[in-house]
Amino acid sequence: MATDVYIGGLGCVTALGKGVDSQLKRLKEGKGGLGKLTLFKTSHEATVGEVPFSNKMLAESLNLPPVKEYSRTTLLGLAAAAEALSDSGIQRDGLRIGFISATSVGGMDVSELFYGEYHKDKNRGKLRQLIGHDCGASTQFMCEQLGIGDFSTTINTACSSANNAIMLGARMIKAGMLDVVIAGGTDSLCRFTVNGFSSLGILDRELCRPFDRSRAGLNLGEGAGYLLLCSDRVKTSRRYGRVTGYANANDAFHQTASSSTGDGAYLAMKGALEMSGSDSGRIGYINVHGTGTQNNDASEGVAMKRLFGGSVPPFSSTKGFTGHTLGAAGGVESVFAVLSLYYGFIWPNLNFRNRIEEADVTPVTRCVKAGNLKAVMTNSFGFGGNCTSLVFESAKI
């Protein structure tokens, strides 16, 4: 029997700080967290969104023993997932609890250390630095630390990964397979992604400018965001909202680019809206994917115009605050969207000056107190054309 899926807990860590309260404060203030890359050396000049804590500081805050080398992806993810679980205040006895985590980087930041030594001398390098390379390794470790054993899986669909994790978690609860799911994603900065995106020519050395005519590319970021989803029978400290709509579609156009007509984005948003049962006028805010690249913003803007016509809801990209956190983006931005819904704010699209001609849409440029928001949407679109949209609605039915 179908059941409502509620959001009972939130956890987040980004360049804005550690914890949901840090995110909320900086979003309200309109103060981004982007700056120059300091975590490691690279020949590429990059503006990024670094989490302002070292691995040692993160491990200590999580009470992890210092004898082991943890991937930054794992540390960021565990911090956010543990916060979501704690925030919910659930009594775990008798509940079937799952953990669905998304990542695209996995343990690359540590395995890169191995290859740095191995490249110099084939007899050098610590093999234990490769143990956590697989994306599923961080999920397994987090499950162990959180004491979750009923179900776990890892999702990697590029930048739509975390939204797909949330979608899967909601589906499993609605199907009666689990009572609670912690779902979202985590990714850290590493040389591989900085070098890779630089080779595509889509990194902006300056602050990214989503949906602006002068946009020149994205700023990479790192972080983690998780939602604790639960059925209506689970008691939580509060209910931030409900997951009422979700859809995944594929642009089927190009390995790394979206079509000029925004087919994948259009179908994902349309499907999520239809599933929610709401009319388009009920959506009070869209947290768009908005990477700041020429291709993405034009395509997403066209898709919104196709779906909403002349009544595109207020929207913004929050990547000007955090950078593009890749596999974690959907988790981080779902937390932001839920905070928007719960507290009644529309977050600003930083660094915007002039609208783009292809889409003819203008984002919100300052923090707006919107009052009683009834529904919000969030988009995450990945390489390979994998597009996912989610709709969150007020918990007050």
Tens place of pLDDT for every residue, the chain, 397 residues?
Answer: 457 999 999 999 999 999 999 999 999 999 999 999 999 988 888 999 999 999 999 999 999 998 788 999 999 999 999 999 999 999 999 999 999 999 999 988 888 777 777 677 776 767 676 777 788 899 999 999 999 999 999 999 999 999 999 999 999 999 999 999 999 999 999 999 999 999 889 999 999 999 999 999 999 999 999 999 999 999 999 999 999 999 999 888 777 678 888 899 999 999 999 999 988 889 999 999 999 999 999 999 999 999 999 999 999 999 999 999 999 999 999 999 999 999 999 999 999 999 998 888 999 999 999 988 999 999 999 888 899 999 999 997 6
Res 1: pLDDT: 47
Helix (H, G, I), strand (E, B) or coil at 397: coil
| Adjacent-strand bridge partners of 307 | none
Tokens encoding 22 = 């840090």
Q: Which long-range contacts (CB under 8 A, 24 or more apart) does 21-30 make?
A: 23/335, 23/336, 23/339, 24/339, 24/343, 26/321, 27/318, 27/321, 27/336, 27/339, 27/345, 27/347, 27/367, 28/345, 28/367, 29/367, 30/348, 30/350, 30/366, 30/367
- Cα separation, 86 vs 81, in Å, equals 9
Nearest to 327 by CA among 139, 149, 61: 139
Res 13: pLDDT: 98
Asked whether the beta carbons of 274 and 249 are under 8 A apart, the reply is: no
pTM value is 0.96
Res 172: pLDDT: 98
- Cα separation, 129 vs 107, in Å, equals 9
Classify 5-393 by CATH class.
alpha beta
- Cα separation, 243 vs 237, in Å, equals 17
- Cα separation, 369 vs 63, in Å, equals 38
Q: What is the DSSP letter of 13?
A: E
Dmax (CA) for the chain in angstroms is 64
Instruction: Give DSSP secondary structure letters for 16-64.
Output: TEESHHHHHHHHHHT----EE--SS--SS--EEB--SS-HHHHHHHTT-
Asked whether the beta carbons of 87 and 240 are under 8 A apart, the reply is: no
- Counting Cα atoms < 13 Å in the Cβ hemisphere of 181 gives 28
Q: Which amino acid is at 314?
A: P
Q: What is the DSSP letter of 7?
A: E
Nearest to 208 by CA among 200, 218, 199: 218
Res 319: pLDDT: 98
Q: Are strands 47-48 and 35-36 parallel, antiparallel or unpaired?
A: antiparallel
- Cα separation, 83 vs 88, in Å, equals 9
Let me know the angle formed at the C-alpha of 199 by 265 and 385, rounded to the nearest 5 degrees: 20
Q: Is 59 exposed, middle or buried (0-12, 13-18, 19+ CB in 10 A)?
A: buried
Nearest to 195 by CA among 42, 35, 369, 358: 42
Res 129: pLDDT: 67
CB neighbour list of residue 318: distance below 8 Å, 6 or more residues apart: 27, 287, 290, 332, 333, 336, 347, 349
- Cα separation, 272 vs 248, in Å, equals 8
Q: How far is CA 223 from the centre of its chain?
A: 8
Let me know the angle formed at the C-alpha of 373 by 20 and 24, rounded to the nearest 5 degrees: 15
| Residue in the structure block whose two tokens are 């470790």 | 141
CB neighbour list of residue 116: distance below 8 Å, 6 or more residues apart: none
Tokens encoding 289 = 């994917």
